[in-house]
Amino acid sequence: MQPLEEWVKTMAVERDREARRLALSALASEHGRAGRGGLQGSFSIPGSVAAMFRRSNEQLDALATVPLFRGLGRRQVRLMERAADRVEKGPGAVLAKQGALSREFFLIVDGRARVERDGTKIADLAAGDFFGEMALIDGDPRSASVIAETPLSLLVIAPRAFAKLMAAVPEVQRRILVGVTQRLRNADEALTATN
């Protein structure tokens, strides 16, 4: 097993263990069944726990429809999901600030944001779009600011996890490269049109 897969698997097992422990603890205190030996008697999984696992599968299915992940195997999408933090931001939140040293990769799961350079809007982003890859690749400060226009649901991947994921899921690396190339072409065309 590759180091990234081991790390992701360990993180997932720890999250699952903690979720089960909390759910069982809540259930035990709710029903007064905690004794010396722990949970006693028969019980069923409460709806909130079942809903949590259902949401996890729905989240995975939703991620599989994002263009960056479309066509990848479920295992690969799960690797991406487990390495990312799910973040919710409100309208007006600054996700990336031009000139700042920041190294996170962002994928918009739901909502809209605008991209500004020197205070001028240069692009719109929506569900399925990503940003932050340039600062991760070259280590330079952010080239633009990204501001939420609506409530946003994002996946945020830290630099170390991003590097490991790119090695473990090379197809995503290729897709990010295609996205960067498309942005470069669009910028080149816009520059040529103004001259």
Domain span at residue 53? 3-30+49-190
Do the domain assignments include residue 39?
A: no
For residue 157, the SS3 value is strand
In a domain, 133, yes or no: yes
Domain-embedded: residue 111: yes
Per-residue pLDDT of the chain (195 residues), as tens digits, is: 555 556 555 555 555 555 555 555 544 444 444 444 444 444 455 555 455 445 566 667 767 777 777 778 888 888 888 888 889 999 999 999 999 988 898 989 899 999 999 999 999 999 888 898 888 888 899 999 999 999 999 989 888 888 888 888 888 888 888 888 888 888 888 888 887
Give Cβ neighbours of residue 112 (< 8 Å, ≥ 6 apart). 124, 125, 126, 148, 149, 150, 152
Copy the structure tokens of residue 19.
Answer: 């979720």
C-alpha distances in Å from residue 9, one per residue of 74, 104, 130, 133: 14, 22, 25, 24
> Is 149 contained in some domain?
yes
Does 99 map to a domain?
yes
Name the domain count of the chain: 1
In a domain, 38, yes or no: no
The answer to whether residue 40 sits within a structural domain is no
CATH number at residue 9: 2.60.120.10
